[in-house]
Structure formats: C-alpha cells, structure tokens
A and B are shown apart, each in its own frame.
Chain A
Amino acid sequence: GAVVSQHPSRVICKSGTSVKIECRSLDFQATTMFWYRQFPKQSLMLMATSNEGSKATYEQGVEKDKFLINHASLTLSTLTVTSAHPEDSSFYICSAYRTGVNQPQHFGDGTRLSIL
C-alpha cells in the first residue's frame, strides 16, 4: 500500500490564490522529503529538499519566496505556492525516505495544480 500520501490530488484555482499541498509519510518517520515539479511530457525536476526542523534547500532557479516549504514534523511536509499564476500550473510530486541503509525514495501520487 501507499507509504506516502499527498493531498490534494487536484486543485483548480484563480490566479493570485495561494495553494497548499501536503505530503505525509504514513508509516514511517521522514526527516527528509523532496518536492518535484513535472511539466507535461517531461521528467521530474527537483525543486527543493525539505528538512524536518530546518529550512528547506532549494535548487537553483527555484524561487523560495514563491514556493514555501514547511517540514514541521517527522511525517508532514507542506508546499505552498504563493500568489499562483498560470505558469505555476504543473504536476507537483513529493517523496520521502525511510531512515536506514539503502532505502529508496517513496513517492506520493502527485498534485495536479491548474491556475486559471
């Protein structure tokens, strides 16, 4: 079964709205989570690394004031797209690691964000 839950699965909202996406690890603690963005017919691009209890690490070119990440607990990371515009429309996917040796990332089912 799913080990990483992402919510909501789909959001449609007006331009200028802020949207929050949640990523939860269901049966394990995740000190590190990741947020990816996927444009249509393209691969996943890492946006940021979310660290529990500390600031997120953003990849080059990702606006940290635009994409706010909060990792307040060991099972929850949130991505808030602030003042969203149509160009922010995309598929956002989170992932999390189980603690331990040689563990792969487990992915959520993604959030389809559409800004009108």
Chain B
Amino acid sequence: AQSVTQPDIHITVSEGASLELRCNYSYGATPYLFWYVQSPGQGLQLLLKYFSGDTLVQGIKGFEAEFKRSQSSFNLRKPSVHWSDAAEYFCAVGLPSGGYQKVTFGTGTKLQVIP
C-alpha cells in the first residue's frame, strides 16, 4: 500500500523567509501527487498537483513543488513566506482506482509564521 511521510510536524519561519516542506512517498510506480493547505476549521484547498510531465510544478499563492523520482519526494517551496501562509499543509498521494484516484494523506505540517 502507498504511504506518505511528512517528517516535519511543525515548522516556524520568519515572514519573508523561504520555506520548504518535505514530503516523501512510498509506492512502486509514480503516483499522482498533491499539496493541500488547511486553515483552522476549514476544508482543504488544492495548492498544486503533479500528474506527469515537467517535474517542477507551479501552484497558487506563489507555491511550487518539485517531483524527484530518485528520492521519492515532492517537496513544497515558497521563496518568501507571508503571514497569511500560516496553516497546516498536507501532502497527498493518489493512485488510480476505478476511474478516480484513491488518495492517501500525510500527517501534515503545521506552519507558523513569525513577524
């Protein structure tokens, strides 16, 4: 079965600093990969997705992620963090299943942004 690991439970960065959130997956083939963001008490918003093609994916809110097959990683990056980026971030893996994708989520990384 596929699995997703987000090694950092909690990260604190200063506003304006760069950010990288780590994500590793375990699966025999290349899965679909996603990053979602969740604000407290809210649902999930899709930041970006990778299905195939260019391994550097651009998303919303200035985020990007790079798929590295050799490292089974899909790390999320942002060059300059804003206070409004404080939230919980989930990496997810999707595997084709009967016409859709069955998605497994990582345990999440909570991002705190300090002035």
Residue among B46, B90, B101 making CB contact with A44, cutoff 8 Å: B90
Q: CB of A7 within 8 A of chain B?
A: no
Residues 71-115 of chain B, each 1 if its beta carbon lies under 8 Å from chain A, else 0: 000000000000000000010001000011111111110000000
B90 touches A43 (CB 8 A): yes
Residue of B nearest to A32 (CB): B100
A110 touches B43 (CB 8 A): yes
A93 touches B90 (CB 8 A): no
Interface of chain B, main secondary structure: strand
Give bound CA distance, A44 to B102, whole Å.
13
How many residues of B are in contact with the other chain, CB < 8 A?
Answer: 23
Q: CB of B44 within 8 A of chain A?
A: yes
7 A-B pairs besides A42-B108, A95-B44 with CB distance below 8 A are A32-B100, A43-B105, A44-B44, A105-B94, A107-B43, A110-B43, A112-B41
A residues with CB within 8 A of B? 4, 6, 32, 34, 42-44, 46, 49, 91, 93, 95, 97, 102, 104-110, 112
B residues with CB within 8 A of A? 32, 34, 36, 41-46, 49, 51, 90, 94, 99-108
Can you list 25 A-B pairs with a CB-CB distance of less than 8 A? Answer: A4-B43, A6-B43, A34-B103, A42-B107, A43-B90, A43-B106, A43-B107, A44-B44, A44-B90, A44-B105, A46-B103, A91-B41, A93-B43, A102-B32, A105-B46, A105-B94, A105-B103, A107-B36, A107-B43, A107-B45, A107-B46, A108-B43, A109-B42, A110-B42, A112-B41
- Which 5 pairs from chain A and chain B are nearest by CB? A109-B43, A107-B44, A107-B43, A102-B51, A43-B105
